[in-house]
Amino acid sequence: MGSESLTTPLHQNHCELSARMVDFAGWSMPIQYEGIVAEHLATRQQVSLFDVSHMGRLSFSGANAAQFLDRISTRAVMPIQPGKIRYSLVCRADGAILDDVLIYHLNSTDGESHYSMVVNASNRSKIVDWFRQQPDACSVHDRTLETAMIAVQGPEAIRLVSRWLDWDASSLPYYSGAYRSGDFGGLTVSRTGYTGEDGVELIVGADQASEVWETLMSLGAEQGIRPAGLGARDTLRLEAAMPLYGHELSESIHVAQTGLDFAIQCSGREFVGKSSILEAREKGGLPVRVGLRLEGKRPAREGCEIYHQATRVGEITSGTFSPTLSTPIAMAYLNESAAKPGTTLEVDIRGKRHSAEVCHLPFYQRA
């Protein structure tokens, strides 16, 4: 690991838990503690705690904040009522994806509403610079280093957080949040996550993070809580078919081909990239994102080529052996001609062809 890696406010906690640390997007992050499969299954069956402080946290101010965010977002921001959160994409005028983000519109304890955003760690500087270069930019504040972000995920997550706060976290609908300025250096609780399970994500002051982590670990002991690293976070999100920037999303991938139509709202509004999206939809022909189930036990990894009747039709963007389903799964971009669910394909894994079948996404969905 390079000496220039940033550390989160929870770095010492990870070291005390004997986490295996790796460099990820310039941050020293835990890839695993006791093991990826154990951490994955704990999230599916009980509750896990993730340090996601490497994610960028931005806030916006100014009378034009809502209008600005609406213009740079593929999903409408102006209609978002206070207390709500939306997943969206940010793209260039040519439709190339700059990032996928969460946009928050929350009320502070004094009743004033404010907008904030969570962005991917690898894109934080790029996104901040791009926002500030826009002609109608509002004030953008990077709060990443002064805060921490903890994800509490799993079937027991809401009960645990409710005990901790002495407040019924289940009262928060999905993709909504609340902000309390007097708690933990400013506390944001959002019913969001990246695992396919129920849970919340907490944003707290950097100086308060270790105390919050230790308290949740102690309170959750009877529920079988485990700390979980980036390894389990990746297998969990892949089972839930959640795209990851740098894999299913990038500047070489067009918004229109992602299958994320719920996050693209073109009607009745103008935003950066709209014309290119409409043109791409009308023209067609772009590879599309699909799911694959592979025969056998060997997983396909990013970059593995995919063939249909001896013709190359795409490549894997993410692949793993699913701990929940006990089978190799993958996401890929395929030519439309080979993308119909049920189509049998072959994946080249280190020179050997393995049979695979196109399937509906997600691979896993909680009951």
Whether residue 83 is contained in a domain is answered as yes
Whether residue 132 is contained in a domain is answered as no
Judged against a pLDDT cut of 60, whether residue 2 lies above it is answered with no
Bridge partners, residue 148, by sequence: 204
Amino acid type, 33: Y
Q: Using one digit for the tens of pLDDT, what is the confidence trace for 191-239?
A: 999 999 999 999 999 999 999 999 999 999 999 999 999 999 999 999 9
Whether residue 133 is contained in a domain is answered as no
Q: Which domain holds residue 85?
A: 57-127
Q: What pLDDT sits at residue 146?
A: 97
Task: Choose one of 207, 239, 271: the last residue of a domain.
Answer: 239
Region 93-120 average pLDDT: 92
Whether residue 276 is contained in a domain is answered as no
**Backbone φ, ψ for residue 148 (5° rounding):** -135, 160
Cβ–Cβ under 8 Å, residues 40 and 232: yes
Whether residue 337 is contained in a domain is answered as yes
CA distances from 132 to 140, 301, 321 (A): 7, 36, 41
Q: Using one digit for the tens of pLDDT, what is the confidence trace for 333-367?
A: 999 999 999 999 999 999 999 999 999 999 999 98
Please report, to the nearest 10 degrees, the dihedral formed by the alpha carbons of residues 127, 133, 137, 143 taken in order.
Answer: 40
Judged against a pLDDT cut of 80, whether residue 111 lies above it is answered with no
Whole-number Å distance between alpha carbons of 93 and 90:
10
Q: What pLDDT sits at residue 1?
A: 41
Whole-number Å distance between alpha carbons of 126 and 58:
13
Helix (H) or strand (E) holding 291: strand 288-294
Q: What CATH number is associated with residue 70?
A: 3.30.70.1400
Q: How many domains does the chain have?
A: 3
Instruction: Answer yes or no: do 302 and 198 share one domain.
Output: no
Cβ–Cβ under 8 Å, residues 65 and 58: no
Whole-number Å distance between alpha carbons of 242 and 248:
9
Instruction: Answer yes or no: do 82 and 198 share one domain.
Output: no
Q: SS3 string of 214-245?
A: HHHHHHCHHHCCEEECHHHHHHHHHHCCCCCE
Judged against a pLDDT cut of 80, whether residue 297 lies above it is answered with yes
Whether residue 44 is contained in a domain is answered as yes
Q: What pLDDT sits at residue 300?
A: 98
Q: Using one digit for the tens of pLDDT, what is the confidence trace for 226-276?
A: 999 999 999 999 999 999 999 999 999 999 999 999 999 999 999 999 999
Whole-number Å distance between alpha carbons of 18 and 34:
8
Whole-number Å distance between alpha carbons of 100 and 196:
17
Whether residue 263 is contained in a domain is answered as no
Residue 300 contacts by C-beta under 8 Å, 6 or more apart in sequence? 292, 294, 316, 319, 328, 330, 347, 349, 354, 356
Q: Using one digit for the tens of pLDDT, what is the confidence trace for 145-188?
A: 999 999 999 999 999 999 999 999 999 999 999 998 888 999 99
Whether residue 189 is contained in a domain is answered as yes
Instruction: Answer yes or no: do 40 and 118 share one domain.
Output: no
Residue 233 contacts by C-beta under 8 Å, 6 or more apart in sequence? 50, 52, 194, 195
Residue 191 contacts by C-beta under 8 Å, 6 or more apart in sequence? 169, 172, 173, 174, 175, 176, 177, 198, 199, 200
Bridge partners, residue 245, by sequence: 249
**Backbone φ, ψ for residue 219 (5° rounding):** -65, -35
Instruction: Answer yes or no: do 186 and 199 share one domain.
Output: yes
Judged against a pLDDT cut of 90, whether residue 108 lies above it is answered with no
Whole-number Å distance between alpha carbons of 322 and 334:
21
Residue 247 contacts by C-beta under 8 Å, 6 or more apart in sequence? 302, 317, 318, 331
Instruction: Answer yes or no: do 188 and 317 share one domain.
Output: no
Report helix, strand or coil for 11.
helix
Instruction: Tell me what the pLDDT averaged over the chain comes to.
Output: 96
Whole-number Å distance between alpha carbons of 350 and 307:
14
